[in-house]
Structure 1
Amino acid sequence: MKENVDFNNELWGKTALVTGGTKGAGKAIADRLLNAGATVVVTARNPPESLHERQHFVSADLSKPEGTQKVVEEVLSKFGSLDILVNNMGGSETRGGGFAVLTDEDWETTIQTNLLASVRLDREFLPKMIQQNRGVIIHIASIQGRLPLHDSTLPYAAAKAGLINYSKALSKEVSPKGVRVLTVSPGWIMTQSSIRMMERIAESSKTTVEQATQSVMDALGGIPIGRPAKPEEIAEFVGFLVSPRANYLTGTEYIIDGGTIPTI
């Protein structure tokens, strides 16, 4: 892992869990918290290419309750408690074609992955956070919670809208007990998987990667800043939100989309 600024070790002594933390924005978030001094547990189905000495990996499928239990048991047995929980895991694997092609299984799988996985982890870790009167929970949602794409990701958009609503309600309950709860809703992030997708689009349409990227931005209604987000840009903001510098922030959704959503 590349070591940059240490951010004054502002998270030294803290233990953080980042779900979906082995690639994309999740990996960038895990790296950012490591650079700030935290001990970081990452979970995913597949292991990362490498691990920092203050990083631990738990292989688990959090879309299933037994995956949640495995992660909770390993984290609590090794560290005793958790200070920061970043519910980053999510994604959509449903086919295009609108509502008519979606089955109950499509809906159930997507909601398990993008909503209920976070609910289950929160439920398991919150009692200890409340007992110690401190903790931060970040829910990574999506602008699709407000700007759904009906043709291809309807269940995903609905699940993320539910996550945003749930996160706000949870913050009202637990913030008086010392636990801050926040939502980060990114727009399009140029991860390695996005890069590969642009290459496939360019190849199939006989265009350049740049033209393929522009076509996707156009489909989103445009990105005024002119490009997708970098994973590190999402991670930098999450790093601030979980730090002591953001101690007065709770119950808020932060949109990071380069201006994609056209309304206030």
Structure 2
Amino acid sequence: MEHIINFNNELAGKTALVTGGTKGTGKAIAERLITAGATVIITARNTPEEPNENLHFISADLSHNKGTEKLVAEVLKQYGSLDILINNLGGSETKGGGFAVLSNTDWEETLQTNLLAPVRLDRGFLPKMIEQNSGVIIHIGSIQAKLPLYDSTLPYAAAKAGLVNYSKSLSNEVASKGVRVLTVSPGWIMTTSSEKMMERIAESSNSTVEEAKQSVMDALGGIPIGRPAQPEEIAELVGFLVSPRANYLTGTEFVIDGGTIPTI
């Protein structure tokens, strides 16, 4: 029998949560899941700058236990269960200068946001997913797990490496219980924050924005495809991975970096 999938409504009846979903890549992922028919919840510390009536916003600070517990409780109270969890929240705010300038607080805050927050959310939602014998968890990693920029983002790179390893281990444990766990590791993404950073670099170096972009690509060792990714390109990959079309995929890390990492 031929199996026909309606790509425009393939997530109908599914409830999804996207952390860090108010801007950048998280926002693009949330909007992509809406187009596939899902009910989408987004969370961040601050209210979205551009409200979207199709997105259900819950304010939460996921960098500590209480914020995570609050979010899990609210989602389960309002929706009963969760079908798709996109652990997108992450980032680095540490200063450059290598290991010597980093404090214990730098390390602890970075690990809380980029590694422990996803772990806590998985623990909060997995019991229901296992009970219903279905669910998809996506961890948004980074190519820095394999290509760390030690001078400026050492804790971030270490946290993402831990996340990739944890994600693989978790997938092995829960695959037989109906839950798929995957990692998506992007390279450089041209978000609004990245655009502003390029403007700052251009201004400080008395160069053009395009020259600033090229300098960043050079620092990464080059991007063979010739440009950073757009958030929508990351979102499209995630949209496929959480869909029924990817039902046999679990435990895999999908690198989407325009060819940046020079090895296989």
Contact 2:15 2:40 in 1 (8 A): yes
Tell me the residue number matched to 1:37: 37
Contact 1:168 1:181 in 2 (8 A): yes
- Runs of 4+ in structure 1 displaced over 3 angstroms? 50-54
Q: Residues 70-101 of structure 1: CA distance to partner in whole angstroms, max 9, x if unpaired? A: 11111001100000000000000000000011
Contact 2:184 2:256 in 1 (8 A): yes
Distance in 2 of aligned mates of 1:40 and 1:153: 31
Shift of 1:182: 0.1
Pick which of 111-120 and 55-64 moved more.
55-64
Shift of 1:235: 0.1
Code of the aligned partner of 1:32:
R
Under a length normalisation based on structure 1, what TM-score does the superposition of the two structures give? 0.97
Distance in 1 of aligned mates of 2:53 and 2:247: 28
Distance in 2 of aligned mates of 1:33 and 1:53: 14
Gaps of 5+ in 2: 1-5
Residue 170 (1) aligns with residue 208 (2): no
Equivalent residue of 2:16, what SS?
strand
Distance in 2 of aligned mates of 1:148 and 1:96: 13
Distance in 2 of aligned mates of 1:186 and 1:152: 18
Pick which of 131-140 and 69-78 moved more.
69-78
Residue 226 (1) aligns with residue 226 (2): yes
Equivalent residue of 2:49, what SS?
coil
Aligned residues: 259
Tell me the residue number matched to 1:150: 150
Residue 116 (1) aligns with residue 116 (2): yes
Code of the aligned partner of 2:211:
Q
Contact 1:64 1:112 in 2 (8 A): yes
Tell me the residue number matched to 2:247: 247
Contact 2:8 2:35 in 1 (8 A): no
Under a length normalisation based on structure 2, what TM-score does the superposition of the two structures give? 0.97
Equivalent residue of 1:86, what SS?
strand
Tell me the residue number matched to 2:126: 126
Equivalent residue of 2:139, what SS?
strand
Code of the aligned partner of 2:11:
L
Residue 212 (1) aligns with residue 174 (2): no
Gaps of 5+ in 1: 1-5
Shift of 1:53: 3.6
Contact 1:20 1:42 in 2 (8 A): yes
Equivalent residue of 1:29, what SS?
helix
Tell me the residue number matched to 1:261: 261
Distance in 1 of aligned mates of 2:186 and 2:96: 22
Tell me the residue number matched to 1:201: 201
Tell me the residue number matched to 1:90: 90
Distance in 2 of aligned mates of 1:255 and 1:95: 26
Contact 1:141 1:164 in 2 (8 A): yes
Code of the aligned partner of 1:211:
E
Distance in 2 of aligned mates of 1:131 and 1:150: 42
Tell me the residue number matched to 1:3: none
Shift of 1:52: 3.6
Code of the aligned partner of 2:259:
G
Distance in 1 of aligned mates of 2:43 and 2:141: 18
Shift of 1:204: 1.1
Distance in 1 of aligned mates of 2:57 and 2:194: 24
Tell me the residue number matched to 2:185: 185
Residue 139 (1) aligns with residue 139 (2): yes
Shift of 1:51: 3.8
Contact 1:7 1:35 in 2 (8 A): no
Distance in 2 of aligned mates of 1:181 and 1:227: 29
Distance in 2 of aligned mates of 1:86 and 1:191: 18
Tell me the residue number matched to 2:73: 73
RMSD between aligned residues: 0.9
Distance in 2 of aligned mates of 1:176 and 1:28: 31
Contact 1:168 1:252 in 2 (8 A): yes
Code of the aligned partner of 1:229:
A
